[in-house]
Amino acid sequence: MNTIVKTLTQETMILTWGVRALVISKTMLYTSFLITSILLSAFGVIFIKEKTRGLISEVERLQHFQQVQEIKHNQLLLEENTLLAQKRLKTTAETQLHMQMPTVIHTLNNK
């Protein structure tokens, strides 16, 4: 811990690897940290932007699918109401007016 504090309070830091030595000033250290932070932030923004585009595309696709399904549902409701109206008309004709559907025998005898 003391070594880290001493290193941060010095103006320069010397890193040694075997025979070679690297001298890093505080300004260089802070600058490299800031550049790294900026690059990571930029990559984060790009990543989030791509994710958002993908999600917006998925939402639009699902909204289109929902509209198509609503149209099909409305068509089925219309067809059901048409069939119910025909059944209601047939039932009314048979019960109240005592009408019957013509059979083949009735049709042939009238000719």
Q: In this predicted structure, what is the pLDDT of residue 16?
A: 62
Q: In this predicted structure, what is the pLDDT of residue 14?
A: 62
Q: In this predicted structure, what is the pLDDT of residue 62?
A: 98
Give the SS3 label for residue 35: helix
Could you count the other beta carbons within 10 Å of the beta carbon of residue 24? 13
Domain boundaries defined on the chain:
7-100
pTM (two decimals): 0.53
Please state, in angstroms and rounded to a whole number, the distance separating the CA atoms of residues 42 and 52.
15
Low-confidence ranges of the chain (pLDDT < 70): 1-23, 106-111
- Look-up of token digits 């070594």: 3
Please state, in angstroms and rounded to a whole number, the distance separating the CA atoms of residues 92 and 98.
9
Q: In this predicted structure, what is the pLDDT of residue 109?
A: 64
Q: In this predicted structure, what is the pLDDT of residue 110?
A: 61
